[in-house]
Structure 1
Amino acid sequence: MSHITEDCLKIIINELQYDLSSLYSCILVNRHWCRIAIPILWKNPSSLKGFSPSKLHNMIIFLLPKSSKKFLSDNIPELSLTEISDNKPLFNYISFFTQISPDLINDLSYALFYDDNKGYNYVGVRYKTYLLDQEIYKLFINNCKGLKLFYCKTSHPLFKYQGATTCFSQLCTLKINLMFVPTGNLFDIIQICQNIKHLELKNCDKDIENLVDFINIQRNLQSLCIDFLPLSDIIMQKASTLKKFILRPFTRLLSPKILTSLINLQYLELISDEKFVLIFGGSTMKDWDEYISIASFPNLQYLKIYFDTDLSITKDYMLIEKSNGNIFEINILKENFHDPIYTKKLIITISKCCPKIKRLTINIEPENFEDLKEIFLNCTQLEMMCFSLDSEEHNGDKLLEIILDYSPETLREYSFIEIENSIFTTEGLEKFFENWKKRKPPLIFDIINNPW
């Protein structure tokens, strides 16, 4: 192992990036291994199980430059940061971070300013927290080179800080929470970030200056997730490059015409919260069904549709028909929706058009239990199924019998969402588990009571 090439060693150690104890062991082998393992360990240390938050917080404070420590000590003397040693560490750990988490920075501020017994320690804590967050963000932005992922959830003018261009110019994934980010900051982001591939916009509850320009300027936008704001025109302009599209939670506020433009889509998620739609209005379910019936996503691999009302689209099975058999996962749930005819169409379509499907979540009616046999017989790569059962008339024991007799060997994980009382009898469950033992494969069996 002492003669293994550095490139090979990097590949091997990178496979251990989520194994904290193994990375520690690699660091202790020798200096050469240490130089390779440290950057991997510090890519995103807060995500590692077993990593000490307090040690991470202390390291970040330790790495603050003298100017920041003096500035914070002058404005927040209670922190006494000037007493912290300025000895240079062996590594510039901050430079190895591949993402800046607002949760990490918020947790650090909370740890410094909050006392379990007294609550927040200092008068004017909000202002002091703002100053501390500012200096920590400056530390990260001035040291991190070529971040790939960033979640912007602050009013700080981050994209004006020293080093921002180097830090953010290679961003691939950007999440922006517009509840916290001032509209003026979007203009600064436009100047640096023009090659975003995955964009998520949260809390778009009004027309926001520069937002359309920001989306439009992206050269290779492949994934777009939008909360609320109707941006049909700009989405249609970017539709040819989009591979992933998520719209939540106000589906009807967007024109369904966009569906016909998303020709290269691989991932589609439509989530509708009818409480807000009743307030704001929007396209009707008939409109959505019309465009769904003519839309075609031949590369579609993932489909999620969720409606929390008895008003729902009913032509979604037609998207599955035109997916060229590429779908791996379907998650279609509709609250208070009872239509055995629709459910039969959906089940038959899945059984005929989804030979590669591995994970399936659907509503199921008692009238459709027998139809499930078609899925079990034709979808032989299934690994997980989740059924939403919201009728008191369900004969759950019959469903268990069909699963035992017809489900493929690959299918070992089952979840049942029960809206009413339990649909299974004790005898039915005992018989099912006893007979499953003969199949030998391990079983994951979960009953979820009324998640809504």
Structure 2
Amino acid sequence: MTSIALIPELLQKILSYHKENPKIIFKCALVSKSWCDTAIPFLWKKPFRFCYSTFHYKIVRVYLQFLHKEFLEKFDLNQIIFSDNSSPPSYNYLSFLQEFVYLTLYESLLNLLKKQRSYKTLSTSEKDQDDQLCPSFHPSKQFMINKLLPILNELCNLFIKNGTKILNFNLSALYVNCSCKWFPLNDIKLPLNSLSSIQSFICDNNGCDFGDIVMELSKYSRNIFSIEIKKPQSHQNISQWVTLINSQRYLQKLKLEMFYSKYSSMIALAIPSQYHSLKEVELTYCKFYQASLLDELSSCPNLISLKVKDCSFTEKSKIINHFVSLKSLYVSKSQLPQEYFLAMLGKPSKLEKITLNLIDFFKYPKIIPFICLNCFQLKVLEIVLVEETFEKLIPIMENCQLLEEISIWEKFDCIGHEFYDYHDSYFGNYMNPNLVIKKISNCLPRNLKKLHFSQLFNFTFEDIQYFIQNAPNTLQDLKFYIIVNDKNNVINLLENFAGNRKSIIKHSESRINYSKIIHHIFIAKFL
């Protein structure tokens, strides 16, 4: 069979489009030697992503073959990495690695060592006299110090010595909820001076203090584009994170998760150094006693995406600036002064996508009117509405005529009552959903492509028929719930609307009540 010859640069470009599909890359590696030379680096850039976790130990086994023979003999590794038919590695797999996840490497090495016959003896017989037998069968602290961590640290050094260019670094701590104290954090040794190339850094403190490592990174790694911080522990720890952020030349993405302490607001001190570079910020499960972080973020002229999920801000500032550069805003189940909601919506607004999930619009009555008056460039709206607030969609439809996608999400009963769109004074004093959909039908945006209604709104056939008659031919994705006895009437209606376009119509019965009225759900796509 004649092999397929391509210029290596061209083949590399082609494979780059399939870099997240290891099956295609692997098949390409089998074509010829030249194809294999080009494909192998793609498979080994992020090898732990491309196989099941139960097979991660096989990757570590390959890495261990690059260690010195003396080291392998010292830690009795020959028997688990070499076999009678084994051969030396064909490539320098270490040099291809670009994503370094410390926790994954640790767990993979531990699983490999467990395959040794002596593992059970080593992990239990070396218990200190003061240690009690671990009910979770964790390895002993002595086993960690005398065997596993030395091997792990040597592997880390080996990556650097082989010219490995780490771009993504994940330093997440193990979740330790055991009195045996089996994981000695202080024994982690990383060659941080060789991590100057990292562009993405994720750190889950998980009850640990990585302060020393963070401070070392601030000296050597100054070109990080993305930083994710989870569960910082103390005033000092947050100060060290501020130092790391301040040391970056061009930080573009920042994610903060589970900032709970009274010192959490200190992270705002890091924002001024990145005023002109920050583009995306995500705040998740945080509690800030001051709103200084939001004040600083509003001063970032290039901030285009802001996500605030399950967060609260206790105090507000006297002067609140608008987020005039935002193009995407996501707010879910968060408590903050209404003034900050309005500031995020901007004035004037450049927002093209707004997601408002589990926001009480009776508590924040100015949000919807502000969208109508300012968000004329809005293209995507994702929002949770109930019967009492469904009518609030009408003015948005009337004023935001560039809308292309509208999704009305379900509310979840497991969420606390304080996030419901409900107020006693509105009991029976709101527009019927059947009337709302008719009013919406009269002002549908001309470029509308997607519209999903939630299960709360069970329309009649006449409502859906009126909507379809007024819907623009740009509509491609429709989801609704309807009360109808004959589903074929709805199917015929949707097929007639499709016209010459191909239609994919999915249908199911949602529930049947005692009056034998059938509730249906329809999902239709027009191609």
Distance 1:65 1:95, change over 3 A: same
Residue type of the partner of 1:239? Answer: Y
CA gap 1:320/1:340 in 2 versus in 1, 3 angstroms:
closer
Deviation, structure 1 residue 156: 6.6
Q: Deviations over 1:236-261 (max 9, x none)?
A: 23223222222341244441431442
**Structure-to-structure mapping, 1:85-234, within 5 angstroms:** 87-109=87-109, 111-112=111-112, 122-123=123-124, 125=139, 127=141, 128=143, 130-131=148-149, 132-143=151-162, 145-154=164-173, 155=185, 160-161=190-191, 164-166=192-194, 168-179=195-206, 180-207=208-235, 208=237, 210-227=240-257, 228=259, 229-230=264-265, 231-234=267-270
Q: Deviation at 1:31?
A: 1.2
Shift, 1:400, TM fit: 6.2
Describe the SS at the equivalent of 2:315: coil
Residue 79 of structure 1: how far off its partner (Å): 8.9
Q: In structure 2, do the counterparts of structure 1 residues 391 and 242 end up closer, same or farther at CA, with 3 Å as the change threshold? A: closer
Say which of 245, 251, 260 aligns to 2:281.
Answer: 245
Mapping of residues 57-76 of structure 1, within 5 Å: 57-65=57-65, 67=67, 71=71, 74=74
Matched residue, 2:409? 387
- 1:372 is displaced (CA, Å) by 2.3
Name the % identity. Answer: 18
Structure 2 unmatched ranges of 5 or more: 128-138, 174-184, 412-419, 462-480, 511-527
The alignment status of 1:313 with 2:332, answered yes or no, reads no
Instruction: Compute the displacement of 1:153 (Å).
Output: 1.8
Bigger shift: 130-139 or 394-403?
394-403
Displacement of 1:45 in angstroms is 3.0
Is 1:329 aligned with 2:331?
no
Give the Cα–Cα distance (whole angstroms) in 1 for the partners of residues 450 and 295 of structure 2: 39
**Corresponding residue number in structure 1 for 2:315:** 283
Residue range with higher mean Cα deviation, 187-196 or 86-95: 86-95
**Post-superposition shift, 1:438?**
4.2
Instruction: Sort the Cα spacing of 1:430 and 1:268 in 2 relative to 1 into closer, same or farther, 3 A.
Output: same
What is the aligned residue count?
418
1:57 is matched by which residue type in structure 2?
Y
Which has more helix, going by share of residues?
A: 1
Give SS of 1:261's match.
coil
1:264–1:297 contact (8 Å) kept in structure 2 = no
Q: Counterpart of 1:369?
A: 390
Alpha carbons 1:296, 1:319 under 8 Å: kept: yes
**Partner residue, 1:16:** 18
Q: How far apart are the structure 1 equivalents of 2:44 and 2:406?
A: 35
Mapped to 2, the partners of 1:185 and 1:157 lie a distance apart of 12
Matched, 1:81 2:102: no
Asked if 1 retains the 8 angstrom alpha-carbon contact of 2:67 and 2:158, the reply is no
Alpha-carbon distance in 1 for matches of 2:435, 2:152? 58
What is the TM-score normalised by the length of structure 1?
Answer: 0.76
CA positional deviation for 1:333: 2.5
AA matched with 2:407:
M
Q: 1:371 to 1:96 in 2, by over 3 A?
A: same
Residue 35 of structure 1: aligned partner = 37
Q: What's the secondary structure of 1:90's corresponding residue?
A: coil
Unaligned runs of 5+ in 1: none
Deviations 1:332-371 (Å, cap 9, x if unpaired)? 2245553483353144146x4224x23x222325454344
- SS at 1:105 equivalent: helix
- Give the distance between the partners of 1:108 and 1:317, measured in 2 at CA: 48
**Contact 1:159–1:185, Cα closer than 8 Å, also in 2:** no
Distance 1:126 1:444 in 2: 56
User: Could you tell me how far apart the structure 2 residues matched to 1:387 and 1:398 are?
Assistant: 20
Separation in 1 of the partners of 2:95 and 2:103?
A: 18
CA contact (8 A) 1:260 1:296 kept: yes
Q: 1:268 aligns to what?
A: 306
Partners of 1:265 and 1:366 in 2: CA distance: 35
**Aligned to 2:36, what secondary structure does the other structure show?**
helix
Q: Secondary structure at the match of 2:169?
A: strand
* Deviation of the 1:68 alpha carbon: 6.8
Letter in 2 for 1:151: N
Alignment-mate amino acid for residue 252 of structure 2: Q
Q: Distance in 1 between matches of 2:15 and 2:248?
A: 34
CA RMSD, Structure 1 to Structure 2 (Å): 4.1
CA contact (8 A) 2:332 2:356 kept: yes
Q: CA 1:436/1:404 → structure 2, altered by over 3 Å: closer, same or farther?
A: farther
Aligned in 2, Cα 1:15/1:82: closer, same or farther, shift over 3 Å? closer
Q: CA deviation at 1:195?
A: 1.7
Q: CA offsets, 1:124-161, max 9 Å, x none?
A: 61544552543443444444622221111244777743
CA distance, structure 2, for counterparts of residue 101 and residue 190 of structure 1: 19
Question: Could you tell me which amino acid in structure 2 is paired with residue 5 of structure 1?
Answer: I
Moved more, 185-194 or 253-262: 253-262
- The 3 A distance-change label for structure 1 pair 376 and 26 is farther
**Structure-2-length-normalised TM-score:** 0.66
* Cα displacement (A) at 1:408: 5.9
User: Is the Cα contact below 8 Å between 2:47 and 2:59 reproduced in 1?
Assistant: no
Distance 1:263 1:206 in 2: 30
Tell me: CA distance 1:295–1:312, structure 2 relative to 1, closer, same or farther (3 Å): closer
- Closer/same/farther in 2, CA of residues 396 and 445 from structure 1, 3 Å limit: farther
Superposed displacement of residue 401, structure 1 = 6.1
Distance 1:63 1:426, change over 3 A: farther
Cα distance, 1:52 vs structure 2: 4.6
CA drift of 1:105 comes to 1.9
Q: CA 1:191 to 1:69, structure 2 compared with 1: closer, same or farther past 3 Å?
A: farther
Query: Do the aligned partners of residues 254 and 374 (structure 1) sit closer, same or farther apart at CA in structure 2, a change above 3 Å counting?
Result: closer
- Quickly say closer, same or farther: Cα 1:54–1:315, change in 2 above 3 A: closer
